[in-house]
Amino acid sequence: MLRNSRTCLQPPVLAAACSSWFPMADAISCLQPLCDCLDGTGLLDAAGREVASFLRLKSNWGDLDKARESLGAVERMVRGRVTAELNKLNVCDPQVELWLRRVDELKLGAIDEDYSSLMNYSSICQCTRHAARRSWIGKRIVEALDEVNKLIEEGRRFKKFGFKPSPEIVERLPQTKTFGLETMLVQLHDLLEKADSNIIGIWGQGGIGKTTLLHAFNNDLEKKVHNYQVVIFIEVSNSETLDTLEMQKTISERLNLPWNEAEITVKRARFLVKALSRKRFVLLLDDVRKKFRLEDVGIPTPDTNSQSKLILTSRFQEVCYQMGA
């Protein structure tokens, strides 16, 4: 019976012995889901970064100092490229402009002062007393380092630093006083408003003020930009031969179109006709001395449907008629 009693008592003893070892394992198994949950929220990573920013304060400060030098080099490169674009009368790319503004707004002076002040507390006692301040400065250094590295990476990726700006609807021309031409200027504006006046001719002998009148009219059209999409002034002066190439260049520049020097004149003319046909334009041709076909240059003939206008000056009345005025 005694042996049987011992035999009967053995399982509870073993159970008690086993239970004394199991609580830690049970606790770990219970904490595992909690750790997984926290890991999913990013809290553990954040805590790790906080600790690292505290312990690696000097190392991070050294990295920030080096990164600041690299950013300065990238900034000088970017500003140099932007200056080159501005010298070509281009405008700065908006993304580059925004990047430069962010660099200008990067204030590291306050961090420098706080870090230097913190380093004055060198004893263990003082370091412990200023642990909270150390943690705060360490976090700011890490954030600044991240921002500086980000700016360096973005600055190095830029490929385009500027572009040709869209032309103004009216390009202002040199203008002198229109003595005695005010009435003609009013008449010209009245003709422009008439729907059936698609081609208007101004004729008279040389030196009476036709060019002055046309310059003044061109500048006046700034007040009517809502009616037209582009105003183009071209000095023709075709006493010998028509300079088709220069006229096409002027039109292309005013429409902000690409220029291909190797393209033949006829092909370019067809392209310009299509481009101008999509716009309501006012074309001012000064000093036309011989008749020429508008389409040969790249100018669609204005009509009532297009609402575009062509105004030309000439020394000869018959040339105005021949051009359809």
Nearest one of 174, 298, 283 to 233, comparing CA atoms = 283
* Position 242 pLDDT exceeds 60: yes
104 vs 59, residue with greater confidence: 104
Q: Which pLDDT tens digit goes with each residue over 289-320?
A: 999 999 999 999 988 787 899 999 999 999 99
Q: Can you tell me the mean pLDDT for 81-92?
A: 92
- List strands edge to edge, sheet with 230-235: 199-203, 309-314, 281-286, 230-235
How much of the chain exceeds pLDDT 90, in percent? 42
Residues 6 or more apart whose CB falls under 8 angstroms from that of 287 comprise: 210, 211, 235, 236, 237, 313, 314, 315
* Token code pair at residue 76: 């000088």
pTM of the model: 0.60
Torsional sign, CA 54, 55, 61, 66? negative
Closest CA relative to residue 154, chosen from 76, 105, 100, 109:
100
| pLDDT range class, residue 35, cuts 50, 70, 90 | very low
**Domain ranges within the chain, ordered by starting residue:** 43-163, 181-323
CATH architecture of the domain with residue range 181-323: 3-Layer(aba) Sandwich (3.40)
Per-residue model confidence as pLDDT tens digits over 138-192: 787 888 889 999 999 999 999 999 988 888 888 888 888 777 788 888 899 888 8
